[in-house]
Amino acid sequence: MLEELKRIRQLLEPKPVPPSPQPKGISAEFKDFIAKNKMVGLAVAFIFGVYLGQLVQALVNDLLMPIINLVLPNVPWDQIVFGPFKIGHFMGQLITFIIVAFVIFALVKVTRKWGVE
């Protein structure tokens, strides 16, 4: 019985994956490099990220910051200074960052709900 269990264990062990044949020629190696490292997907994600960042920045600057300026009128964000420190500019950037982070959080949550990872 022990011999039978050893034979079953050997049958269940994963077989080593045979190495893929090396492509010949520089163009074949380049195509293999792009395919294995998913370079096209990385490039698409980078370009998409750049334009998504611009879209979120436009959302913050053109839609949300005017609402904040309505709530807090006549607040010159860039002119609030404490000694050599531009506190107002930092606060405006901090508000922008929090809004951008929330929008990205919401996008990730929606895409996960759709099954897109």
Query: What kind of fold does domain 22-114 have according to CATH?
Result: 1.10.1200
Question: What pLDDT, in 10s, does the model give residues 11-42?
Answer: 888 877 777 677 678 888 887 777 777 777 78
Evaluate if residue 83 carries a pLDDT over 80. yes
The pTM for the full model equals: 0.47
Does residue 117 register a pLDDT over 70?
no
**What does the block give as tokens for 102?**
């929330």
Q: For residue 2, what are its two tokens?
A: 């022990």
Residue type, 98: I
Crossing angle of helices 39-58 and 87-114, rounded to 10°: 130
Domain ranges of the chain: 22-114
